[in-house]
């Protein structure tokens, strides 16, 4: 289109002087041949060549990237946490069998072991619900570190305390921590700092 415009302009300029026609023809020849006095067309040609080279490089990079196989991310491992994800089914069965709220069982487990089935206290209490050896035996628990046995045994004991104290959750929790003998002795939550903190923490988690 530029050449057409130049040619049209040239046609319109036929009436100009011979010297003007000659100068214009020289300029046109230089433009076509790429040899202008200031080298502008040469610079333009060099720039276009550089742009073309860069464009080809970008296209080649994109094509190579599109052909690179994508490695899928490894599956996320199932991790046991506060929610007791790996123990939900056992907790649900225990809650149904012993007529306890699932959240109450989870709240006790959270406080006792933070859902660690291998937890053992300095006093010898073991497992998710931290059963003492004698208590575990009385509940038919042979391996306190086995999640199913521990949850079933601990839930059974908690249910017994709930029945003993007419469904009073806080008294049942106090008995779970300090023993029913101390609850009966003080006719309520024993004045032990550990037991009071225990009841407050577990009950608070249960209500949250």
Which burial class, exposed, middle or buried, applies to 120 when counting CB atoms under 10 A from its CB (0-12, 13-18, 19+)?
middle
CB 187 within 8 A of CB 168: no
For residue 43, the tally of other CB atoms under 10 A from its CB is: 11
Return the DSSP state at 191: S
Cα–Cα distance measured from residue 83 to residue 94, given in angstroms and rounded to the nearest whole number: 16
Query: What percent of the chain is helix, strand and coil (3-state, nearest 5)?
Result: 65, 0, 30
Q: Based on the residue annotation, tell me whether 112 is a catalytic residue of this protein.
A: yes
Name the β-bridge partners of 13. Answer: none
Considering 52, 54, 89, 112, which one is annotated as catalytic? 112
The per-residue b/e assignment along 72-98, b for 16 or more CB within 10 angstroms, e otherwise, is: eeeeeeeeeeeebeebeebbeebbeeb
Catalytic residue set: 112
């Amino acid at each position: 289109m530029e050449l057409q415009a130049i040619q049209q302009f040239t046609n319109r300029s036929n009436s100009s002087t011979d010297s003007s026609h000659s100068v214009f023809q020289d300029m046109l020849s230089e433009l076509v041949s790429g040899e202008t006095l200031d080298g502008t067309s040469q610079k333009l040609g060099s720039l276009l060549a550089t742009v073309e080279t860069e464009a080809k490089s970008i296209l080649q990079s994109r094509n190579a990237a599109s052909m690179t196989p994508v490695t899928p991310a490894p599956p996320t491992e199932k991790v046991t946490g506060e929610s007791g994800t790996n123990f939900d089914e056992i907790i649900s069965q225990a809650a149904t069998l012993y007529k306890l709220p699932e959240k109450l069982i989870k709240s006790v487990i959270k406080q006792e072991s933070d859902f660690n089935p291998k937890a053992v206290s300095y006093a010898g209490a073991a497992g998710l619900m931290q059963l003492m050896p004698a208590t575990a035996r009385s509940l038919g628990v042979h391996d306190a570190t086995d999640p199913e046995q521990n949850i079933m045994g601990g839930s059974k004991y908690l249910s017994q305390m709930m029945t003993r104290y007419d469904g009073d959750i806080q008294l049942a929790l106090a008995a779970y921590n300090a023993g029913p003998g101390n609850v009966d002795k003080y006719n309520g939550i024993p004045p032990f700092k550990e037991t009071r903190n225990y009841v407050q923490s577990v009950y608070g988690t249960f209500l949250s």
